[in-house]
Amino acid sequence: MVSIATEFPPPGPLVRHAYGELDLARSGTDDQKRALGKLSVLPRPWDPPSCPPALRTQIWAWLDQVADWINHEYSWQPDRFIPSCWPAHPHIAHELAVIADLRRTAGYAFSGDALEEWHRYALPAFLDRITSRMGTCCGPAKHDDWPAAGRHREFRSARAADQRTDLFNRDAMPHLDPEAMAPPAQLPPQLVLVNGRTVNTATGEVMESSPKLNH
C-alpha cells in the first residue's frame, strides 16, 4: 500500500525524555521543577551542542530521518534539496534541528495554525538558505570542501586575534574610570599586638609597648 503522505519521523527515547523534562520545566508543578535541578542547563534538542553525547547521537539519527522525510515529501527541484553530506555542514545541522523541533511542536498543536506557519515560512526559508549558501557545490553523492576554510583559518590566526583585541581595548579605553585604572594607593604601616609588644608589619620593627592614645 502506497501512502499519499507519510508521517513525520518520531524521535528516539532519549530525545522524547529530554522533551518531557522541558515540558515539566515549562508547565510542571514546583516539586517537579525542583526535581529537575537547574533548569537552565537542561538539554535542548533543537540545540544539539547543549546535549550530552548519548542524547546527541539520537538527535543526529532523528535529524537524518527528518532530512530524508523533507526531501521526499517537500523537495521537487534538485536545488532545494538537503544534501546527503549535511552532517559535514554545521549551518545545516544547526538549522535542521530547529526545523525538526518546530515541525514536532506543530504536530502536537490542537489546530493547524502552527503547521501552516511551518509550511509557509519556516521550511521554505530553511530550504532557501541552503540553496543560497551551498550554491552549486555538493551535488549528488559528492561533498566539496568548505570554500571559506582559508578565511576561517585567517580569522583564528594570532595576528587577526591581536588586531581585534587592540580594537576592543581602544573602544573601551575612553569609557574606563581613570580612578579604577590607577594603581592602588600605598597603605600606611599597620601595627599589630604580639605577645604584649607592638610590631610594625611594614618594617618589622618591634616596640616595647603599644603607642599611647591621645585623649
The model scores a pTM over 0.85: no
Map grid coordinates 540553496 to a residue.
131
In this predicted structure, what is the pLDDT of residue 186?
61
CB burial string 187-207: b at 16+ within 10 A, e below: eeeeeeeeeeeebeeeeeeee
| CA–CA separation, 73 and 41 (whole Å) | 35
The radius of gyration of the chain's CA atoms, rounded to the nearest angstrom, is 31
Provide the residue-wise pLDDT of the chain in tens; the chain has 215 residues.
678 999 999 999 999 999 999 999 999 999 999 999 999 999 999 999 999 999 999 999 999 999 999 999 999 888 889 999 999 999 999 999 999 999 999 999 999 999 999 999 999 999 999 999 888 788 777 888 888 889 999 999 999 999 999 999 989 887 776 665 566 566 555 555 556 565 565 565 666 554 444 44
In this predicted structure, what is the pLDDT of residue 206?
62
Map grid coordinates 506557519 to a residue.
117
The answer to whether residues 47 and 143 touch, using CB atoms and an 8 Å cutoff, is no
CB burial string 108-128: b at 16+ within 10 A, e below: eeeeeebbeebeeebbeebbe
User: What are the boundaries of each domain within the chain?
Assistant: 13-136
